[in-house]
Amino acid sequence: MITLTLAEVATIVGGTLHVRRDESAETVVSGVVDTDSRNMQPGGIFVAKPGDTTDGHRFVGAAVANGATLALVEHLVDEDITQIVVADVVMAIADLAREVVARVRAHGTLKIVGITGSNGKTTTKNMLARILQDEGETVAPIASYNNEVGAPLTMLRVTDTTKYLVSEFGASGPGEIARLAGLVNPDVSVELMVGMAHAGGFGGIEATVKAKTELVHALAPGGTAVLNADDPRVAGMAPVAEAQGNDVVWFGHAPTADVRASDVTVTASGTTSEVLVDGATIPMNLKVLGAHHVMNALAAITAARVLGIEPATSIARLETMDLAERWRMQVLGNDRVTIINDAYNASPDSMAAALRTLAQITEPHERTVAVLGAMSELGEFDGEEHDRIGLLAVRLRIQRIVVVGSAARRLFISAIGEGSWDGEPVFFDDADAAFEYLKGELRDGDRVLVKSSNAAGLRFLGDRLGGLFS
Question: Which residues fall in the annotated binding site?
Answer: 117-123
Query: Please, what's the largest Cα pairwise distance for the chain?
Result: 74
Residues 366, 445: contact at Cβ < 8 Å?
yes
**In sequence order, what are the residues at sequence separation of 6 or more whose Cβ sits closer than 8 angstroms to the Cβ of residue 324?**
122, 123, 126, 127, 288, 293, 296
| Contacts (Cβ under 8 Å, ≥6 apart) of 36 | none
CB 397 within 8 A of CB 368: yes
Dihedral sign for Cα 127, 128, 129, 135, please. Answer: positive
Secondary structure class of 138 (helix, strand, coil): strand
State how far the Cα of 451 lies from the Cα of 467, in Å rounded to an integer: 17
Measured distance CA(108)–CA(139) in Å, rounded: 15
Q: Are 73 and 158 in contact (CB under 8 A)?
A: no
* CA 346 – CA 29 distance, rounded (Å): 40
Identify which of 34, 156, 165 has the alpha carbon closest to the alpha carbon of residue 98.
Answer: 156
List the binding residues for ATP: 117-123
> Is residue 42 a contact partner of residue 31, using CB atoms and an 8 Å limit?
yes
d(CA 194, CA 407): 24
In terms of C-beta density within 10 A (0-12 exposed, 13-18 middle, 19 or more buried), how is residue 6 classed?
Answer: buried
Angle at 77 between CA 71 and CA 83, to 5 degrees: 30
Alpha helices in 133-195 (DSSP H): 150-155, 176-181
SS3 label, residue 1: coil
- Which helix or strand (DSSP H or E) is residue 225 part of? strand 224-228
Which of 319, 317, 316, 373 minimizes the C-alpha distance to 343? Answer: 373
H or E segment and range at residue 448: strand 446-451
Asked whether 40 and 68 are in contact (CB, 8 A), the reply is yes
Q: How far apart are CA 252 and CA 113, in angstroms?
A: 19
**Core vs surface per residue 42-73: b (16+ CB within 10 A) or e:** ebbbbbbbeeeeeebbebbbebbebebbbbbb
